[in-house]
Chain A
Amino acid sequence: MNSFSQMQDKVRDVLRRDRTFNHTIVEENIFLQGTHSVHHNTLDASHGPVLYLEDVSVSFDGFQALNKLSLYIDDGELRCIIGPNGAGKTTMMDVITGKTRPDTGLVYFGQTMDLTQMAEHDIAIAGIGRKFQKPTIFPEHSVWENLELAMKTDKGVWHTLFTVLTSEQKDRIEEVMLIIGLQELCYARADLLSHGQKQWLEIGMLLMQDPRVLLVDEPVAGMTHQEMDRTAELLTSLAGKHSVVVVEHDMDFVRSIASQVTVLHEGSVLAEGTMDEVQNNQKVIEVYLGE
Chain B
Amino acid sequence: AADTIKVGVLHSLSGTMAISETTLKDTVLMMIEEQNKKGGLLGKQLEAVVVDPASNWPLFAEKTRELIEKEKVDVIFGCWTSVSRKSVLPVIEELNGLLFYPVQYEGEESSKNVFYTGAAPNQQAIPAVDYLMNDLEVKRWVLAGTDYVYPRTTNKILEAYLIAKGVKKEDIMINYTPFGHSDWQSIVSDIKKFGSQGKKTAVVSTINGDANVPFYKELGNQNISSEDIPVIAFSVGEEELSGIDTKPLVGHLAAWNYFMSVENPENEAFIKKWQAFIKSDKRVTNDPMEATYIGFEMWAKAVAKAKSVETDAVEQAMIGVEVANLTGGMAVMNKNHHLSKPVLIGEIQDDGQIETVWSTESTVAGDAWSDFLPSSKDLISDWTAPIKCGNYNTKTKKCLAK
* Direct A–B contact in complex, judged by CB atoms less than 8 Å apart: no
Interface residues of B (CB under 8 A from A): none
Which of A's residues lie within 8 Å of B, judged by CB? Answer: none
